[in-house]
């Protein structure tokens, strides 16, 4: 990762020659070099480019083959474009920290709003966990985070809002702080919200071998719709509207809360 | 030193049995081990009287007690975090800037008017501290949040430091502060420099200044 500019050094001026190739320009900008190759990128994340680069929405006939091999989330395709041509392209997202990651025949699941761009050698799929996308294969991708990303080894429990993604972990699951929810006082708290909540009754738990990616603040990035999954039995999130069930859908529903009643009455 | 800075916006705290921490509610990012988080209705230490004091003073920030054994990561709102080690002196800081602090530190509330009377109260209004501020005293570490990076400015008896009230974060040591005004006729006609009020800190100690004029 590049460092912040030297204080008092003035702005750094780049030209097509000095711009890095497939690397960070600074903490907030990433430069992609295209040599007749293609990159997938989320709409609106390109801030500038040198050279001749075409941006095509996915769904054009010409890109059908590419989409077939590396984009497996058809209903989500309208949020992505394919850049092709030759030149250098700068990516950024609202001054969030941007970083690139290399996958070597690996897999990584990431919150849909955090993914900015990826090489077509990776294939993008919707994760079983709603609101997350999984990248499988070999290649480079670019992701944004609020504050630098911290890598942690499981076993670890993570605040839902601080989770950016995970690699290789077989067991992302919910963890509820039972001690706090149990008992008369716990029930009262859950029902009324009186006595305060610590905001930490619910975490995501990861065990096993792998890496968990955390962002250093609890401010989420805007969620990107991941497309709908088919309405089939056994498909998580298949019954509801897309995005409605995501871990980002506000506070987790705790036992005894009024939300349960509402659901029971079909409201 | 229970706090380790992981990057500019995240700290790692180690909790051991029999030792507790206070942190702002909801500021936990991740943890390892068996750690429990209990909301602290009293907003910190002391008995009922301290709690009422804090409520009245509007310094009752939602805190939680962190106990158990393991390591916890803290961060909040993308704010920069500064770890301040206290060795027996008192830190003056706004309660909502506290990210986490050692349970061994003594928490108190101070009336701004007690330092400089009416001028102290005016100062509180200008800095956005209000009429009261929180004090932490003892030996231990405090993690303080600020918007933008934090600069540590030493104060020596010969060299008082002037700080923009909006950029002021916290101070500790034997420091007297007063509000110095540079109001002129330009301010009256709305052509001021925007820097009419400054906080003048003198004595010996340290003041922490954030690289932004935005409040938390």
B30 touches chain A (CB under 8 A): yes
For B126, phi and psi rounded to 5 degrees? -70, -40
Measured CA to CA, the distance from residue A256 to residue B26 in angstroms comes to 21
The predicted pLDDT at position A240 comes to 46
Chain segment A189-234, per-residue pLDDT in tens: 555 555 555 556 778 889 888 899 988 776 666 666 666 676 777 7
Q: Which of A125-129, A182-186, B90-94, B135-139 has the lowest mean pLDDT?
A: A182-186
The predicted pLDDT at position B42 comes to 60
A-interface mutation test, from B22, B39, B61, most A Cβ less than 10 A away: B39
Is pLDDT at A261 greater than 60 in this prediction? no
* Residue A66 Cα, gap to closest chain B Cα (Å): 37
Q: Which of A56-70, A145-159, B112-126, B127-141 has the lowest mean pLDDT?
A: B112-126
For B32, the closest of A155, A201, A216 (CB atoms) is: A155
DSSP letter assigned to residue B117: H
Is pLDDT at B38 greater than 70 in this prediction? yes
* Residue B77 Cα, gap to closest chain A Cα (Å): 5
Contact B41 A195 (CB under 8 A): yes
- Count of helix runs (H) and strand runs (E) in chain A: 4, 15
> How far lies A142's CA from each of A57, A160, A161, A236, B6, in Å?
19, 21, 20, 27, 22
Measured CA to CA, the distance from residue A236 to residue A226 in angstroms comes to 13
Q: Which two tokens stand for residue A97?
A: 């920290």
Domain boundaries, chain B: 3-210
For residue B64, which of B8, B15, B115 has the smallest C-alpha distance? B15
Contact B78 A146 (CB under 8 A): yes
Q: Which two tokens stand for residue B115?
A: 């330092």
For residue A130, which of A239, A226, A218 has the smallest C-alpha distance? A226
For A179, the closest of B6, B36, B76 (CB atoms) is: B36
Q: What is the mean pLDDT of residues A140-168?
A: 88
For residue B206, which of B159, B146, B164 has the smallest C-alpha distance? B159
In chain A, which residues have their Cβ closer than 8 Å to the Cβ of B25?
A: 196-200
Is pLDDT at B143 greater than 90 in this prediction? yes
Using the structure block, give the residue that is written with the tokens 């006939």. A61
In chain B, which residues have their Cβ closer than 8 Å to the Cβ of A199?
A: 25-26, 28, 64
Q: Are A130 and A172 in contact (CB under 8 A)?
A: no
Q: Are B155 and B202 in contact (CB under 8 A)?
A: yes
- The CATH code of the domain at B3-210 is 3.60.160.10
B5 touches chain A (CB under 8 A): no
Select the highest-mean-pLDDT range: A215-229, A249-263, B50-64, B75-89.
Answer: B75-89
Measured CA to CA, the distance from residue A167 to residue A78 in angstroms comes to 26
Measured CA to CA, the distance from residue B84 to residue B144 in angstroms comes to 7
Domain boundaries, chain A: 14-145, 146-185+202-217
The predicted pLDDT at position A169 comes to 78
B20 touches chain A (CB under 8 A): no
For A205, phi and psi rounded to 5 degrees? -110, 140
Q: Which residues pair with A104 in a beta bridge?
A: none
Contact B30 A162 (CB under 8 A): yes
Measured CA to CA, the distance from residue B105 to residue B137 in angstroms comes to 5
B216 touches chain A (CB under 8 A): no
| ipTM over 0.85 threshold | no
For B31, the closest of A157, A195, A219 (CB atoms) is: A157
Residues 6+ apart with CB under 8 A from B79: A217, B9, B99, B145, B146, B147, B216
In chain B, which residues have their Cβ closer than 8 Å to the Cβ of A148?
A: 7-10
Strands (E), B52-182: 63-74, 80-93, 98-102, 106-111, 132-146, 150-155, 161-163, 168-181
A14-145 folds as: Double-stranded beta-helix (3.60.160)
Under 8 Å CB pairs connecting chains A and B tally to 95
Burial, A80: exposed, middle or buried (Cβ in 10 Å; 0-12, 13-18, 19+)? buried
Contact A200 B10 (CB under 8 A): no
Measured CA to CA, the distance from residue B182 to residue B185 in angstroms comes to 10
Measured CA to CA, the distance from residue A177 to residue B85 in angstroms comes to 32
For A8, phi and psi rounded to 5 degrees? 80, 0
Measured CA to CA, the distance from residue B20 to residue B68 in angstroms comes to 8
> How far lies B170's CA from each of A100, B61, B95, B106, in Å?
36, 16, 10, 16
Measured CA to CA, the distance from residue B43 to residue B109 in angstroms comes to 12
Range list of H helices, chain A:
64-70, 178-181, 183-192, 258-264
């Amino acid at each position: 990762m590049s460092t912040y500019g030297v204080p008092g050094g003035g702005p750094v001026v780049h030209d097509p020659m000095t711009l890095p190739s497939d690397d960070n320009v600074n903490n907030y900008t990433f430069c992609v070099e295209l040599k007749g190759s293609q990159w997938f990128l989320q709409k609106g994340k390109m801030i500038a480019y040198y050279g001749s680069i075409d941006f095509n929405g996915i769904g054009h006939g010409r890109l059908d083959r590419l989409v077939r091999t590396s984009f497996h989330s058809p209903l989500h395709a309208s949020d992505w474009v394919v850049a092709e041509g030759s030149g250098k392209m700068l990516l950024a997202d609202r001054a969030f920290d941007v970083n690139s990651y290399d996958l070597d025949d690996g897999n990584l699941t990431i919150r849909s709003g955090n993914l900015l761009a990826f090489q077509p050698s990776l294939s993008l799929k919707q994760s079983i966990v709603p609101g997350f996308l999984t990248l499988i294969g070999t290649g480079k991708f670019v992701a944004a985070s609020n504050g630098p990303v911290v890598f942690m080894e499981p076993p670890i429990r993570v605040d839902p809002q601080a989770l950016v993604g995970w690699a290789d972990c077989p067991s992302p699951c919910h963890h509820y702080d039972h001690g706090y929810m149990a008992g008369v006082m716990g029930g009262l708290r859950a029902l009324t919200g009186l006595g305060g909540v610590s905001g930490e009754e619910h975490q995501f738990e990861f065990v096993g071998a792998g890496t968990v990616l955390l962002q250093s603040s609890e401010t989420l990035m805007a969620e990107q719709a991941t497309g709908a999954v088919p309405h089939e039995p056994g498909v998580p999130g298949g019954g509801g509207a897309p995005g409605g069930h995501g871990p980002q859908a506000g506070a987790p529903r705790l036992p005894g809360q009024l939300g349960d009643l509402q659901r029971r009455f079909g409201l | 030193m229970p706090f380790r800075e992981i990057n500019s916006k995240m700290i790692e705290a180690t909790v051991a049995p029999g030792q507790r921490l206070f942190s702002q509610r909801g500021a936990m990012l991740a943890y390892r081990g068996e750690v429990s988080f209990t909301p602290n209705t009293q907003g910190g230490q002391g008995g009922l009287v301290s709690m009422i004091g804090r409520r009245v003073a509007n310094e009752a920030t939602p805190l939680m007690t962190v106990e158990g054994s393991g390591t916890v990561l803290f961060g909040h709102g993308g704010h920069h975090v500064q770890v301040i080690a206290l060795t027996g002196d008192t830190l003056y800081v706004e309660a909502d800037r506290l990210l986490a602090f050692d349970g061994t530190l003594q928490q108190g509330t101070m009336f701004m008017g007690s330092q400089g009377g009416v001028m102290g109260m005016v100062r509180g209004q200008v800095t956005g501290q209000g009429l009261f501020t929180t004090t932490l005293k003892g030996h231990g570490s405090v993690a303080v949040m600020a918007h933008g990076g934090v600069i540590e400015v030493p104060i020596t008896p010969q060299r008082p430091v002037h700080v923009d009230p909006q950029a002021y974060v916290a101070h500790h040591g034997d420091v007297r502060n007063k509000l110095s005004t540079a109001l002129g006729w330009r301010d009256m006609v709305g052509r001021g420099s925007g820097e009419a009020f400054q906080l003048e800190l003198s004595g010996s100690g340290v003041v922490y200044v954030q690289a932004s004029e935005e409040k938390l």
